[in-house]
A and B are shown apart, each in its own frame.
Chain A
Amino acid sequence: MSDRPLYIEIEHASKAFGEGQKRNVVLRDFSLDVRKGEFLTFFGPNGCGKTTLLNVIVGVESLDEGSVKMNGGTSRPRVGYVFQDYRGYLMPWLTVAENIAFPLRIRGVSKPERMSKVEAVVARFQFRIDLGAYTYALSGGQAQLTSILRALILDPDILIMDEPFSALDYQTNLSLYEKVLQIWEATGVTILLVSHDIDEAIYLGERTVFLTKRPASVAAVLESKLPAQKELTQMGSEAFASMKKQALEIFRREALEKSA
């Protein structure tokens, strides 16, 4: 893994919202290196600053101190982003198809070409979704799927996923794990995925970053012990169980430290 080049370098990042009494420090001296093509998952308590961290990485939120360097600061990578509040980030005046194609429209791709690309990405995921529907008529899960497909339409260099599976049922989750892993293997995209589900985080990630309470910093990084070729049955394996045990250790230590 270490033979892959450095891709994202986060150095001593600090970020606070508000001022004076209301000042809310969300990131404090946060440092992390991500290698190209890595599948990294983040796990941390509610409100610790996970979404803020992702926004800082893609540059829609600025830092107070420290820096985020991408690709050695050379070129701007293509970003696919699955937002946590998936519904609030979809355009209600566009159909599902046009929502998925939105990043293409920004790049001036013509309508027929957009539609054929949308059909291709939908076919690749083998999901039945009504492309002509408007997003206000979608269920939470369908809206989330729309948001995921929109993130994938550009063949991104970096795929950011902020709790992308929260509104989907378990069976759909499992099938999406496979799809995401498949895409990751096929394209070499770098994936940063935030999860509230510990099984999901340690199953998917090559490394899982455990975050502290707010202000977020790295509590621990857990390397995956699963075989490179992942299969869902590995969730019942010996290695998985030992990783989960380690994760519980990390939680306990964090909880004790904070209350001490």
Chain B
Amino acid sequence: MPTPEIRTKDAPPAGRSAGVRIGVWGFALPLLCLALWYLVTGLKLVPPLLVPSPTATFRRLVGLFLHEHLTSDIGATAWRWGCGYILGCLIGVPFGLFIGNSRKVYAASYPTLDFFRSLPVTALFPLFLLLFGIGDSAKIAMAFSAALFVVILNCAYGALQAKETRLRAARVFGASEWQVFRWVVFFEALPQTLSGMRTSLSLCLVVVIVSEMFIGTQLGLGQRVFDAYTVNDTEKLYAVLVLIGLLGYLINRGFVWAETRIVFWTGK
């Protein structure tokens, strides 16, 4: 008695789309901010020395690219950012998953990790200077530390939250502990893992910029911000800040784009 189709009592669950669409409205607020910026500077409500006009800022930004090797600064900052971030993820993800895989290990290490996560790495820059000197390695190490703890904690939490039912299903079908980890825990933790990686991506950029400002360097966006500040060149200051903001925003958007495709099943 072949049944042509399975009839069921309940309908498929109405899934909510995981990612919120930005759409046209997402551009309304930035445009409003820009308009406000024009207004405030155009009506001379604040002295131009404190807030330069958008036109001057963007003109200056183009000038920085053309005459003041800004591309090399971006490159130098991106290199430190990328190195610190990638190292942090390479070590943090497996370590975090391992910690979250066992309730006992998680309970034993959580307070310590939370303590280190709560320490502002930027406040520890003297320590990094002592340990790594004034070169790139200190800045990379700072970015690495910032990424590391955020990634570890997120991965550990994600693994800890793995659904007991799915772990049980795998065990019933004969999975070893490693297979349970590889085929279930890893995927259960993946949404939280990526969310941690996204958070630490922005955090890492901030840390690299600040470390460049504090420690000093030849090339780097933080150094340009610092230069501008010391000579009261607010146009340049704003130009670099706008660039940093745009850079962080674009990378984050790219990450979100990839994330919703990788963990396509969340929120469904």
Residues on A facing B (Cβ under 8 Å):
55, 58, 60, 78-79, 81, 83, 85, 88-93, 102-103, 105-107, 126-129, 134, 136-142, 145, 150, 154, 167-169, 171-172, 174-175, 178
Asked if B183 CB lies within 8 Å of chain A CBs, one says yes
Query: A92 to B265, Cβ gap below 8 A?
Result: yes
Q: Which chain A residue shows the least CB distance to B179?
A: A106
Query: B6 to A93, Cβ gap below 8 A?
Result: no
How distant is the Cα of A144 from the Cα of B187 in the complex, in angstroms?
Answer: 22
Query: B1 to A175, Cβ gap below 8 A?
Result: yes
Query: B166 to A88, Cβ gap below 8 A?
Result: yes
A93-B187, A128-B4, A136-B265 in contact; A81/B173 too (CB < 8 A)? yes
Q: Which chain A residue shows the least CB distance to B190?
A: A93
How distant is the Cα of A139 from the Cα of B9 in the complex, in angstroms?
Answer: 8
25 contacts between A and B (CB under 8 A): A55-B168, A58-B172, A79-B172, A85-B165, A91-B183, A91-B184, A91-B187, A103-B173, A103-B174, A106-B175, A126-B3, A127-B6, A128-B4, A136-B265, A136-B268, A139-B6, A140-B8, A140-B10, A142-B6, A167-B10, A168-B6, A169-B8, A169-B9, A171-B7, A174-B1
| CB-defined contacts of A90 to chain B, threshold 8 Å | 166, 169
How distant is the Cα of A55 from the Cα of B169 in the complex, in angstroms?
Answer: 11
Chain B residues numbered 162-202 whose CB sits less than 8 Å from any CB in chain A: 163, 165-166, 168-175, 179, 183-184, 187, 190
Query: B265 to A141, Cβ gap below 8 A?
Result: no
A-B contact sample (12 more), CB < 8 A, given A93-B265, A127-B3: A60-B171, A92-B268, A126-B3, A128-B4, A128-B5, A134-B264, A136-B15, A138-B12, A139-B8, A139-B11, A167-B10, A172-B8
The 4 closest A-B pairs by CB, nearest first: A141-B8, A136-B268, A126-B2, A92-B265
| CB-defined contacts of A85 to chain B, threshold 8 Å | 165
Asked if B13 CB lies within 8 Å of chain A CBs, one says yes
| CB-defined contacts of B268 to chain A, threshold 8 Å | 92, 134, 136-137
How distant is the Cα of A133 from the Cα of B31 in the complex, in angstroms?
Answer: 42
How distant is the Cα of A129 from the Cα of B194 in the complex, in angstroms?
Answer: 32
Judged by DSSP, the binding face of B is loop
| CB-defined contacts of B165 to chain A, threshold 8 Å | 83, 85, 88-89
| CB-defined contacts of A172 to chain B, threshold 8 Å | 3, 6-8
How distant is the Cα of A178 from the Cα of B187 in the complex, in angstroms?
Answer: 37
Name which of B170, B171, B172, B184 has the most chain A CB atoms within 10 A of its CB. B172
Query: A60 to B168, Cβ gap below 8 A?
Result: yes
A60-B168, A88-B165, A92-B265 in contact; A140/B9 too (CB < 8 A)? yes
| CB-defined contacts of A142 to chain B, threshold 8 Å | 6, 8
Q: Which chain B residue shows the least CB distance to A61?
A: B168
Q: Which chain A residue shows the least CB distance to B164?
A: A88
| CB-defined contacts of A92 to chain B, threshold 8 Å | 265, 268
A126-B2, A137-B268 in contact; A102/B7 too (CB < 8 A)? no
| CB-defined contacts of B263 to chain A, threshold 8 Å | 93
Q: Mark B1-38, 1 if CB is under 8 A from A, else 0.
A: 11111111111110100000000000000000000000
Query: B8 to A168, Cβ gap below 8 A?
Result: yes
| CB-defined contacts of B184 to chain A, threshold 8 Å | 91
Query: A88 to B7, Cβ gap below 8 A?
Result: no
| CB-defined contacts of A102 to chain B, threshold 8 Å | 169-170, 173, 183
How distant is the Cα of A145 from the Cα of B6 in the complex, in angstroms?
Answer: 9
How distant is the Cα of A174 from the Cα of B173 in the complex, in angstroms?
Answer: 27
Query: A167 to B8, Cβ gap below 8 A?
Result: yes
- B13 shortest CB reach to chain A, Å: 7
Query: B6 to A141, Cβ gap below 8 A?
Result: yes
Cβ contact of B7, chosen from A58, A81, A138, A169, cutoff 8 A: A169
- A131 shortest CB reach to chain B, Å: 13
How distant is the Cα of A128 from the Cα of B4 in the complex, in angstroms?
Answer: 6
| CB-defined contacts of A175 to chain B, threshold 8 Å | 1-3
| CB-defined contacts of A171 to chain B, threshold 8 Å | 3, 7
How distant is the Cα of A195 from the Cα of B268 in the complex, in angstroms?
Answer: 29
| CB-defined contacts of B264 to chain A, threshold 8 Å | 93, 134
| CB-defined contacts of A83 to chain B, threshold 8 Å | 165, 169
- B63 shortest CB reach to chain A, Å: 49
Query: B10 to A139, Cβ gap below 8 A?
Result: yes
